[in-house]
Chains A and B, each alone.
Chain A
Amino acid sequence: MSSTFSQSPWAIETREVSRVYQTYVKPEGLANSLKGFWKRQHKDKIALQATTLQIPKGQIVGLVGANGAGKTTLLKVLSGLVRPSSGEARVLGFNPAERDSRFLRQISILLGQKNQLWWDLTPHDSYALLAEIYDLDKTAAKKRVHDLAEILNCTHVLETQLRRLSLGERMKMEIIGALLHEPEVLYLDEPTIGLDIVAQSSIRKFLEEYVALKKPTVILTSHYMDDIAKLADRLLLISQGSMVYDGTVEGFTRKTESKKLLRFSLAEPLAAALPIMNLHTLPAGEQNLSLQVTNEELAPVLSKITSLSGVKDITIDERDFEDVIREFLEKESRLLPSRGAHQP
């Protein structure tokens, strides 16, 4: 296949790259199971719409979207795990689908929900194996493991079987494994998922320092806003397999304008609908109420509410990141599928 890419200045570049999966549709019941022996229905699911993007060397890109939006599919295409149904991709000048060993030596993919080291081995044994696989100098690899483990504060678990480590310790081990060969391109798929706040913060801080020092090109997916805000130079929002936002994190924050959720109760239900500052209206007959307000609206609205008789239990919550993303994606695309959509 002749390439339309020539001497690309980009670390990662795609042109109209898409991926469609075919799935088998089986209606409920035994009769339909038997029918499936000779007649099967299939349907196509577009996991990634035609996507064109360029990522320069050293840029940290945050890739955000709902479950099933196409984030992981894009990472799989860019790492050579799956072939695109159409279009072309180039990473460091290589076609990922060819899985050239020179390409594979320069990338690393960290899947936060999967073990990539050997479950039955100690991290030390796994790293020795990885050093062989990547043709690394054994002494240099050992030193690198030691240095990374020191920074991550986990030298004490290097000789314990992976299966016996906590989730946070395992993730640290996976990170060392992913960085051992100093990849030029790093795909981080939910690196902090399921971790407690301390472990999240520790890994985030480590990655922040690592990318500042080594300057790899990174694509990071995460459901945690802090991961994206602290690490990413650029934000890509993906919905139903399409890019719906490509810009800076600051631009995104300005666009979505952070809102707060104000909840309170009244001693008696409201007798009639009550307008608040011509911005909101509290419905009649309700006793437990909530309002979404901007930072600017918060003080005057709060003042108005506290002046009501019998008001109690006032709470102010930051909205969940998922809700902010969902609202944004709904506004941008009007296409967001229901939560928990199946990931192919």
Chain B
Amino acid sequence: MKKKSDKEILGNDIETVRDIGNRSISSNYRGSISFNVEPFNGNEESILDSCPTRALSATKDNKRTTIAVDHGKCIMCGYCSQASPEFITIQSKPASPTKIKKQLSEYSNSQIQSEKSFEEIGNVLREKIKKMFGRSLAIREVDAGSCNGCEIEITALNNPIYDIERFGIHFVASPRHADVLLVTGPASKNMEIALLRTYEATPSPKIVIAVGACACSGGIFGDTYATTGGIDKAIPVDVYIPGCPPRPEVLIQGLLLAVDRMITNGK
């Protein structure tokens, strides 16, 4: 066998992407839906009916119809855009996390907020964590019946490309060591007690983040005999991260919101 140099074995220099912001999101990516024309003048029923998770809703006032999308329910299937391509398009920019569930709804006449890169958010986050804790932020992940899609993305946060530990964020093995609970899935009935116990075992002050459409609203699994239809039906939730699944860039935005919330609550 040919003897390899150290460089060859160790690989390709620095893999951690310094600026992995929205520029790295492919233009094909189904991030969120956006509305084209205002006011809406088509047949709203066909659009509303096309959505498998009932994420779209219509309000009428003064003969104007406003269509709203609840990003907490949207699973980015793109069926609405197929039903009405002139009114709804898919954009690559993902929906943002929020602290209040109602803010997940976006109306057809609202503006999109500014965007920052993964690296920029991470650095702000590191400063805040340092100020707040003087140490790292400890996260416990709980799967309350997810399809494993959100777990793939949360695991990706730890890979050398995103490498979230450089911002002082650390995944821990026990809820007793955690500041933040990252909960995925529609809170299945079989997991309900385990989720509650994990929540109780986490020392205060604690923050609960609902990750993904299932955790925010039940997603495609909805509210059935086997699920409770969202994490907030089982335990109090502080931050909602929409997406199916949310990509790492959105997850870190959600963590920033969580730390912000902790700072305000602490004062």
Q: Answer yes or no: are A and B bound together in one complex.
A: no
